[in-house]
Amino acid sequence: MGAPAAVTALANTRTGRKAVTAVLLCLALLCGLILAPLVMVPLALAGSATTDLTVKAAGTDAAMPTVVGDWGYPLAGSYSTGRGFGYHPVKNCAICPANHFGYDMDQPCGAPIYAAGPGRVINAGPMPGWGNTVRIDHGGGVVTLYGHMQWDSLLVGVGQQVTAGTVLGLEGSTGKSSGCHLHYEVQVRGVAIDPEPFMATLGLPLR
């Protein structure tokens, strides 16, 4: 009996069918072991990048921002201040407007930026002048704006509900900016107001 005929005869027996099934299972397992890394490695790398951004933005190396009632600071820990509200020309920055409608708060590039109060995100992305920006509608005509954040760092989207301390993104220098900082702005019925007295009334004096 030739080899092919012997194989055919063996396959027609119960023992032969079990042997063929075992061989096929071994081949499938071997293929799975070979192909699994090709699928899992890219997925793991993508997940790692997202996790890294989330952990970095969550400020694991920094304290959470101070919160009083429903409102808090948009940065955690100490910070330095730049331009305040009003007429503040910037030396050696032709693109920076002389009239400043917010309050500049400085921490190192990549520092997490937090929502100052509860509300709904109405902008999350590029805005003229402010670069990568988030705006939050707090109701009653009050809107806060967080400008100059790093590209691809936003962790919130339009329509999302946030509370004080929700991480919005990372500090950057996008838009009309001469260095990493947060441009924090408060608008009431579409008009920018001085953030210092507004925050002070909430028990959160800016410094």
Domain boundaries, the chain: 3-56, 67-201
Contact 146, 124 (CB under 8 A): no
Condensed to tens digits (0 to 9), the pLDDT of residues 158-179 reads 999 999 999 999 999 998 887 8
Share of the chain above pLDDT 90, in %: 47
Instruction: For 80-95, give one letter per residue: b (16+ CB within 10 A) or e.
Output: eebbebeeeebeeeee
Instruction: For 46, list phi and psi in degrees, rounded to 5.
Output: -65, -45
Contact 114, 165 (CB under 8 A): yes
Condensed to tens digits (0 to 9), the pLDDT of residues 129-148 reads 889 999 999 999 999 999 99
Contact 152, 138 (CB under 8 A): no
Res 35: pLDDT: 53
Res 79: pLDDT: 84
Condensed to tens digits (0 to 9), the pLDDT of residues 20-73 reads 666 666 566 665 556 555 444 444 444 433 334 443 444 444 578 999 999 999
How many CB atoms are closer than 10 A to CB 139? 10
Q: State the greatest distance between any 2 C-alpha atoms of the chain, in Å, as a whole number.
A: 101
Average pLDDT, the chain: 77
Contact 113, 167 (CB under 8 A): yes
For residues 6-14, average pLDDT: 55
Q: CATH for 67-201, among 2.70.70.10, 3.30.450.20, 2.30.30.30, 3.40.50.720?
A: 2.70.70.10
- Give the SS3 label for residue 48: helix
Res 25: pLDDT: 64
CA angle 177, 178, 179 (to 5 degrees): 95
Return d(Cα 182, Cα 167) in angstroms, integer: 13
In what helix (H) or strand (E) does residue 188 lie, and over which residues does it extend?
strand 182-188
Judged against a pLDDT cut of 50, whether residue 190 lies above it is answered with yes
